[in-house]
């Protein structure tokens, strides 16, 4: 799989841009602030319907514009597919496949499989649990697009349940009878059903990723000072550890039981305290948690290993994904630059951004584009 062409209109800083790509390595070079990452972000949005930089769509639309449009021509096994997304902050986004409208934007998920490395990935190791939950769920959707619906259903039920908890809790504190808690029982059932589906899928995914992360980390640090420390991935949830098995029925029952045990606390606080929205992926390096113990170089290597494991998972289970390396080499020492370049060079397509072309290892310097003053042109 590879991207043959990217077109953006009113996306971030770009009024318009057209970039043709070929299989193999391509490099976007230009000073910081010229829009290289914005182009990478547009491709990432096509693959995930989200940005790796912001949580909402509004910042993606150029100032004073009403909407942004991203068009991507993707070639897979000799067949080309045109994916078009119209981003409308405050209104429903729209999508087309080969110029035909689709009922919902998430219908385009899977058309472009992509793995993005970016400076923001350091948060996978050093950031809050939400970063690691998003990492798992985005990969779930790339592997199996129907999980976009599971996530959406879970978020919808969670929002409804939290609203009910707040109103019932407020009424109880005010001395009233409060809302009918039988209604809460119904929402408990929905939350447990969707939550069990999501937790089971995460657990199965972690089992797939664990050996691949360990292998990728060892390859990245081979011969360096960080060699010899094994990586670990452990799912830590609001359920007891013994309940965290990829059995959907058992998980659903465990979630319902845990909700009942903390119901008084939930009513007091007005939030749902049990479920995958509060879980974490704990990363360890040797005997210690990576967060707080890993050095800067080790943290970067761990984050890169997570992304390389995503790439291997998608490649082995279906079409080979496109690799995007956004300003990554500037963050790495010479040893890690060389190791990463060796690992990704065989990919069908690698797109790299860099402020300085010399930061990019020679093996990845294929077609070079200069990005500056609102233009993209071949060097």
Q: What is the pLDDT along the chain (379 residues), one digit of tens a residue?
A: 999 999 999 999 999 999 999 999 999 999 998 999 999 999 999 999 999 999 899 999 999 899 999 999 999 988 999 999 999 998 999 999 999 999 999 999 999 999 999 999 999 999 999 999 999 999 999 999 999 999 999 999 999 999 999 988 777 776 655 556 778 889 999 999 999 999 999 999 999 999 999 999 999 987 655 566 789 999 999 999 999 999 999 999 999 999 999 999 999 999 999 999 999 999 999 889 999 888 888 999 999 999 999 999 999 987 899 999 999 988 888 888 888 999 999 999 999 999 999 899 999 988 999 998 889 999 8
Can you list the positions of beta strands (E) in the chain?
Answer: 2-11, 14-20, 24-29, 68-76, 79-87, 94-97, 100-101, 114-117, 231-236, 280-285, 288-289, 322-326, 349-354, 367-372, 375-378
Report the C-alpha gap between 67 and 31 in whole angstroms: 27
Whole-number Cα distances in Å, 191 to 149, 251, 356 = 14, 11, 49
Structural domain boundaries of the chain? Answer: 1-113+319-379, 119-315
How much is the pTM? 0.91
Q: Which of 156, 163, 147, 155 is nearest to 110 (CA)?
A: 147
Integer Cα distance of 109 and 107 in angstroms = 6
Closest CA relative to residue 327, chosen from 22, 30, 21: 30
Contacting residues for 218 by C-beta, under 8 A, at least 6 apart: 227
Collect all residues with Cβ–Cβ distance below 8 Å to 33 and sequence separation of at least 6: none
Tell me which fold the domain 1-113+319-379 belongs to. Answer: Rossmann fold (3.40.50)
The architecture CATH gives domain 119-315:
Up-down Bundle (1.20)
> H or E element: which one contains 135?
helix 129-143
Apex CA 224: angle with CA 218 and CA 225, to 5°?
A: 105
User: How many angstroms separate the CA atoms of 363 and 36, rounded?
Assistant: 21
Nearest to 195 by CA among 233, 242, 150, 227: 150
Alpha carbon 110 to chain centroid distance? 14
- CA-nearest of 122, 119, 135, 116 to 280 is 135
φ/ψ of 50, rounded to 5, equals -155, 165
Q: Which residue has the tokens 């071949």?
A: 378
- Cα 211 to Cα 51: distance, rounded to the nearest angstrom: 28
Read off the tokens for 87: 């981003």
């Amino acid at each position: 799989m590879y991207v043959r062409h990217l077109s953006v209109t009113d996306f971030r800083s770009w009024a318009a841009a057209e970039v043709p790509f070929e299989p193999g390595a391509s490099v976007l070079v230009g000073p910081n602030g010229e829009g290289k990452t914005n182009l990478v972000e547009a491709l990432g949005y096509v693959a995930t319907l989200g940005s790796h930089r912001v949580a909402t769509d509004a910042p993606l639309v150029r100032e004073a514009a009403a909407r942004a449009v991203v068009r991507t021509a993707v070639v897979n096994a000799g067949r080309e597919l045109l994916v078009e997304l119209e981003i409308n902050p405050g209104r429903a986004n729209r999508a087309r496949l080969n110029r035909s409208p689709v009922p919902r934007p998430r219908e385009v998920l899977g058309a472009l499989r992509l793995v993005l490395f970016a400076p923001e990935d350091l948060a996978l190791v050093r950031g809050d649990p939400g970063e690691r939950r998003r990492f798992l769920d985005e990969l779930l959707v790339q592997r199996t697009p129907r999980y976009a619906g599971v996530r959406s259903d879970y978020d919808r039920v969670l929002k409804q349940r939290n609203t009910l908890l707040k109103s019932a809790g407020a009424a109880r504190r005010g001395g009233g009878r409060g809302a009918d808690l039988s209604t809460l029982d119904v929402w408990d059932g929905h939350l447990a059903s969707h939550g069990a589906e999501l937790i089971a899928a995460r657990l199965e995914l972690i089992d797939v990723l664990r050996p691949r992360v360990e292998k990728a980390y060892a390859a990245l640090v081979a011969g360096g000072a960080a060699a010899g420390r094994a990586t670990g991935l452990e799912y830590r949830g609001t359920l007891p550890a013994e309940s965290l098995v990829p059995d959907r029925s058992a998980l659903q029952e465990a979630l319902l039981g845990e909700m009942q045990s903390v119901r008084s606390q939930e009513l007091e606080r007005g939030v749902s305290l049990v479920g995958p929205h509060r879980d974490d992926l704990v990363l360890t390096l040797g005997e210690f948690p990576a967060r707080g113990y890993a050095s800067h170089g080790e943290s970067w290597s761990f984050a890169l290993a997570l992304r390389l494991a995503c790439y291997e998972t998608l490649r082995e289970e279906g079409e080979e994904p496109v690799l995007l390396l956004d300003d990554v080499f500037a963050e790495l020492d010479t040893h890690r630059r060389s190791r990463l370049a060796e690992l990704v060079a065989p990919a069908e397509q690698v797109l790299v951004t860099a402020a300085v072309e010399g930061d990019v290892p020679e093996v990845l310097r294929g077609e070079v584009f200069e990005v500056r003053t609102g233009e993209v042109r071949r060097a």
